[in-house]
């Protein structure tokens, strides 16, 4: 585990020195939070549309931010695969699990920092707009967002392992758009019904949004929080195994 | 005990035999050069000896340990500097060294020891002036020095240098030669190169690889005697054209 932590530290430092990671992982989600709050202010009360109200919006934006965590995980892994850096690492005493942990752990730290920044921004907006967010919700948000953060980091790890430095970001962009759409971040997916709702429910993104939203509104009911969280954890476990397996297979193929 | 010994070590791809029945014995403390043109099988040989690629046939013992059945033990006694400089681009020289020391050191090694190892490498490779520079901002020569320092920081018994001076200007190359010469005798070094003068200047013994086969092996004078030619370049040409 010590080697995994050393490797994770390297990955965190590399990412922290990339200005783009601050723009995409922190600044952009907060800008979206502000823009969508302004949109919400423009919607007449009679429309009874609460999706962009800050207590609902904050949870969606936390998940939106995590899609960029996926993008940067994919970039880190695919970039390392392109050069000789990973060859050196593979000739070192590191074990396969050290690589998985080393790539994913720093992204959890990034997701945590990101969630704290978004929550702080959302709390300030709530004071301005008058829709209250309980500051204690942060205590629930932290454990609630970790499974979805892990899910997106594992997805990024999978794309980084399977695709090149050029292809991986492109594919991640598709997931960012798809995840935002079918994850119910920018609209109330559950109010739609039909084939669209069925598609949304077949993918893990809507459960990520639902559980984090519930954590921020302190709604701990089975349907709103516990069940979505269980589904996210189950999908995360599957994706972690899948991405770790794909990474090992791909590296063996790259080195052969 | 030999530092490295291989018996019929072979690597085959679908239609290509990259390394064909390599039989090799390298003594402890020896600097051995694998000389050959591009595609001769030098890098593939190094990859098999460093557990990066599985042999199709044959055996290889590194420090007495089998590369196929005891790869963890092999990895704990080797250091490798690849053709491309395998460094963490956004980390400084000092951070790269500490990082690699942390990766190669056993879990029981204290943080102070990790820092000491990094300092030792900075001093050995005269990297004081670039210690706080990010690796991506360094010149090719400095990057190559850092790459070798990273390979050495785990205190390996065997060091693989794959084309260490490829693409460097003459001054940077000479400086690296000086560094490699200083390491001679202290650890076993296997160096691959396609520069004749490099093999001649550095190696105790030279193995000449042509199309995956080790066609000749010996000191420069032994190879000259073997072929009746003068100078390594003439020796190499006569073996390659056979």
ipTM of the complex: 0.89
Contact (Cβ atoms closer than 8 angstroms) between residue A247 and residue A157: yes
Which residues of chain A does B91 touch, with a Cβ-Cβ cutoff of 8 Å?
A: 10, 13-14
Mean pLDDT of B197-207: 92
Residues B175-185 have pLDDT tens digits of 889 889 888 88
DSSP H or E segment with residue B11: strand B4-12
With CB atoms and an 8 Å threshold, state whether B103 touches A13.
Answer: no
pLDDT in the model for residue B175:
86
d(CA B121, CA B127): 8
pLDDT in the model for residue B222:
93
Query: A92: nearest CA in chain B?
Result: B75
pLDDT in the model for residue A160:
94
This prediction's pTM: 0.89
Query: B56: nearest CA in chain A?
Result: A256
Confidence of residue A189 (pLDDT cuts 50, 70, 90): confident
With CB atoms and an 8 Å threshold, state whether B103 touches A89.
Answer: yes
Burial profile A154-187: b = 16 or more Cβ within 10 angstroms, e = fewer = bbbbbbbbbbebeebbebbeebbeebbbbbbbbe
Question: Which among A9, A91, A256 is the nearest to B51, CB-wise?
Answer: A91
Residues B43-96 have pLDDT tens digits of 999 999 999 999 999 999 999 999 999 999 999 999 999 888 789 999 999 999
Beta bridge partners of A87: none
Query: B108: nearest CA in chain A?
Result: A2
* A92 contacts chain B (CB < 8 A): yes
Tell me the two tokens of residue B241.
Answer: 């054209």
* A87 contacts chain B (CB < 8 A): yes
Residues B99-137 have pLDDT tens digits of 999 999 887 888 899 999 999 999 988 899 999 999 999
Beta carbon pairs, A and B, within 8 Å: 70
Query: B91: nearest CA in chain A?
Result: A14
* A219 contacts chain B (CB < 8 A): no
Mean pLDDT of chain B: 91
Which residues of chain B does A91 touch, with a Cβ-Cβ cutoff of 8 Å?
A: 50-52, 75, 78, 80
pLDDT in the model for residue B111:
87
DSSP H or E segment with residue B20: strand B17-26
Contact (Cβ atoms closer than 8 angstroms) between residue B85 and residue A85: no
**Interface-testing mutation among B55, B88, B114, B149, with chain A (most A C-beta atoms within 10 A):** B88
Question: Which among B84, B87, B91 is the nearest to A13, CB-wise?
Answer: B91
Shortest distance between the Cα of A255 and any Cα of chain B, in A, equals: 6
d(CA A215, CA A145): 9
With CB atoms and an 8 Å threshold, state whether A83 touches B84.
Answer: yes
Kindly report the three-state secondary structure assignment for every residue of B30-76.
CEEEEECCCCCCHHHHHHHHCCCCCCCEEEEEECCEECCCCHHHHHC
Shortest distance between the Cα of B11 and any Cα of chain A, in A, equals: 9
d(CA B123, CA A246): 41
With CB atoms and an 8 Å threshold, state whether B84 touches A2.
Answer: no
pLDDT in the model for residue B15:
86
Query: B148: nearest CA in chain A?
Result: A88
Query: A86: nearest CA in chain B?
Result: B86
Which residues of chain B does A14 touch, with a Cβ-Cβ cutoff of 8 Å?
A: 88-91
Mean pLDDT of A89-112: 93
Which residues of chain A does B146 touch, with a Cβ-Cβ cutoff of 8 Å?
A: none
SS3 A97: helix
Question: Which among A2, A3, A84 is the nearest to B84, CB-wise?
Answer: A84
CA distance to A102, B42, B77, B163, B231, per residue, from B166 (Å)? 31, 14, 25, 5, 22
Residues A32-44 have pLDDT tens digits of 999 999 998 888 8
Shortest distance between the Cα of A22 and any Cα of chain B, in A, equals: 15
d(CA A145, CA A9): 21
With CB atoms and an 8 Å threshold, state whether A6 touches B103.
Answer: yes
Residues B3-51 have pLDDT tens digits of 999 999 999 998 899 999 999 999 999 999 999 888 899 999 999 999 9
Confidence of residue B141 (pLDDT cuts 50, 70, 90): confident
With CB atoms and an 8 Å threshold, state whether A10 touches B91.
Answer: yes
Higher pLDDT, B144 or A158: A158
């Amino acid at each position: 585990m010590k080697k995994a932590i050393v490797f994770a530290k390297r990955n965190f430092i590399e990412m922290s020195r990339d200005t783009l990671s601050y723009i995409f992982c922190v600044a952009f989600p907060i800008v979206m939070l502000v823009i969508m709050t302004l949109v919400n202010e423009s919607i007449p009360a009679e429309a009874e549309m609460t999706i962009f109200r800050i207590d609902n919006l904050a949870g969606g934006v936390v998940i939106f931010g995590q899609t960029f965590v996926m993008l940067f995980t994919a970039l880190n892994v695919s970039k390392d695969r392109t050069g000789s850096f990973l060859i050196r690492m593979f000739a070192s005493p590191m074990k396969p699990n050290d690589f998985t942990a080393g790539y994913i752990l720093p992204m959890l730290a990034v997701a945590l920092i990101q969630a704290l920044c978004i929550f702080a921004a959302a709390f300030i907006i709530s004071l301005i707009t008058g829709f209250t967010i309980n500051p204690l919700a942060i205590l629930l948000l932290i454990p609630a967002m970790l499974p979805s953060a892990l899910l997106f980091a594992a997805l990024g790890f999978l794309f980084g392992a399977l695709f090149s430095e050029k292809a991986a970001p492109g594919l991640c962009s598709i997931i960012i758009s798809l995840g935002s759409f079918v994850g119910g971040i920018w609209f109330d997916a559950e109010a739609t019904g039909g084939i669209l709702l069925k598609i949304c429910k077949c993918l893990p993104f809507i459960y990520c949004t639902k559980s984090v939203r519930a954590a921020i509104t302190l709604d701990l009911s089975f349907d709103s929080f516990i069940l979505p969280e269980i589904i996210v954890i189950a999908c995360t476990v599957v994706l972690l195994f899948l991405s770790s397996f794909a990474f090992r297979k791909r590296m063996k193929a790259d080195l052969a | 005990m030999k530092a490295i010994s291989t018996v019929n070590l072979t690597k085959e791809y679908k239609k290509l035999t990259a390394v064909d029945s390599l039989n090799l014995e390298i003594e402890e403390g020896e600097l051995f050069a694998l000389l050959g043109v591009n595609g001769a099988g030098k890098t593939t040989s190094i990859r098999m000896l460093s557990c990066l690629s599985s042999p199709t046939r044959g055996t290889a013992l590194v420090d007495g340990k089998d590369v196929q059945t005891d790869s963890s033990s092999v990895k704990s006694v080797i250091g490798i500097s690849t053709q491309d400089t395998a460094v963490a681009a956004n980390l400084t020289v000092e951070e790269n060294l500490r990082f690699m020391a942390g990766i190669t050191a056993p879990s029981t090694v204290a943080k102070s020891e990790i820092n000491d190892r990094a300092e030792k490498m900075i001093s050995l490779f005269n990297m004081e002036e670039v210690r706080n520079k990010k690796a991506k901002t360094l010149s090719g020569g400095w990057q190559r020095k850092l790459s070798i320092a990273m390979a050495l920081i785990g205190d390996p018994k065997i060091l693989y240098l794959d084309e260490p001076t490829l693409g460097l200007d003459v001054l940077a190359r000479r400086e690296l030669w000086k560094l490699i010469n200083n390491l001679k005798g202290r650890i076993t070094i296997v160096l691959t190169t396609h520069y004749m003068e490099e093999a001649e200047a550095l190696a105790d013994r030279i193995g000449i690889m042509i199309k995956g086969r080790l066609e000749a092996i010996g000191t420069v004078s032994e190879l000259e005697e073997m072929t009746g030619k003068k100078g390594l370049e003439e020796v190499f040409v006569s073996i390659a054209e056979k």
